[in-house]
A = this chain, B = another copy of it.
Amino acid sequence: MVKSNAQRLDSIFHGLADSTRRAILRDLSAGAKSVGNIAKPYALTLAAVSKHIKVLEAADLVARQRRGSFQLVRLNAGTLQQADQWLAYYTQFWTARLDSFETYLERDEHE
């Protein structure tokens, strides 16, 4: 499925908006893992974790590769970078704005 930029950001931020999924990403930063190994630390069924991974995969935050009888799930750091770029841009922009204008008031637009 081809996604617009907005949809891509939607799915990335949605992927990040759950602490279990963030924990999975954190776990994966130590190296690629099988779905089963990813699931072990959580008090969730394998199916639930499998769904979480699918959400991360839909956001392209993670990719799989079959490895014999199991699958390795690995991080896709590039996608995180996209989100980070969006955030960094606005964070910087806003901070600069607020520093110089100190929350100046809107002038009503009919003037």
Contact = CB atoms under 8 A, between A and B. Distances in A.
Interface of A: 6-7, 9-10, 13-14, 16-19, 22, 25-26, 29, 31-34, 37, 67, 72, 74-75, 77, 80-81, 83-84, 87-88, 90-91, 93-95, 97-98, 101, 103-106, 108-109
Nearest to A14: B17
A94 B29 contact: yes
Contact of A87 (B7, B33, B80): B80
**A interface majority secondary structure:** helix
B95 A77 contact: yes
Contact of A29 (B31, B77, B90, B108): B90
A83 B87 contact: yes
A7 to B, nearest CB: 8
